[in-house]
Amino acid sequence: MKPSVLLATATTPDGSTLTLHRRDGHYHLRVGGLGLMSTTATGSEMQLAELACERLGATAGGRVLIGGLGLGFTLRRVLELAPGDVTVQVAELMPEVVSWNREHLRDVNGGLLDDPRVEVLVADVVGVVTDAAPGSWDAVIIDVDNGPFALVDHGSGRLYGVPGLRAVARALRAGGRAVFWSAAPDPAFLHRLAAAGFRATAVAAKAYPTAKRRSHTLFVADRHG
3-state secondary structure 88-132: EEEEECCHHHHHHHHHCCCCCCHHHHHCCCEEEEECCHHHHHHHC
C-alpha–C-alpha distance, residues 68 and 102, integer Å? 15
What are the residue numbers of the active site? 143
Residues 6+ apart with CB under 8 A from 166: 196, 197
Give SS3 for 74. Answer: helix
Residues 6+ apart with CB under 8 A from 174: 135, 223, 224, 225
CB 171 within 8 A of CB 132: yes
Comparing CA positions, the residue from 225, 202, 205, 224 lying closest to residue 216 is 205
- Please count the residues of the chain: 225
C-alpha–C-alpha distance, residues 63 and 212, integer Å? 35
